[in-house]
């Protein structure tokens, strides 16, 4: 169990530190987290704008709230 937690922590750390640009993209964060947590991940701004998405196979998507593209708003 502790080895699995360490591996998951290393994946997140690698994403944050091996970044060639100054910023980490929200979609990249969501992709890594969806694999680690085995769930769908959404990053939503305070105003309701979808900033990033990450979907896991085998988990139902909530398509009624999200549109296909990043930059749209939730519940439009």
The rounded distance, in Å, linking the Cα atoms of 57 and 71 is: 23
* Per-residue pLDDT band at 17 (split at 50, 70, 90): confident
> What predicted TM-score, i.e. pTM, was given to this entire model?
0.69
Please work out, in degrees rounded to the nearest 5, the angle formed at the alpha carbon of residue 23 by the alpha carbons of 19 and 25.
85
- Mean pLDDT over residues 9-23, rounded? 79
26, 16 Cβ separation under 8 angstroms: no
The rounded distance, in Å, linking the Cα atoms of 21 and 49 is: 23
CATH architecture of the domain with residue range 1-76: 2-Layer Sandwich (3.30)
27, 43 Cβ separation under 8 angstroms: no
Whether residue 20 is predicted with pLDDT greater than 80 in this model: the reply is no
Whether residue 12 is predicted with pLDDT greater than 80 in this model: the reply is yes
What digits encode the pLDDT tens for the residues 21-72?
677 788 888 999 998 999 999 888 888 888 888 888 888 777 666 655 666 6
């Amino acid at each position: 169990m502790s080895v699995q937690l360490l591996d998951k922590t290393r994946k997140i750390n690698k994403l944050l530190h091996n970044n060639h640009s100054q910023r980490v993209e929200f979609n990249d964060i969501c992709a890594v987290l969806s694999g680690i947590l085995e769930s769908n991940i959404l990053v939503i701004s305070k105003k309701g704008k979808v900033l990033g998405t990450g979907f896991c196979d085998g988990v139902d998507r909530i398509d009624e709230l999200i549109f296909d593209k990043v930059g749209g708003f939730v519940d439009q």
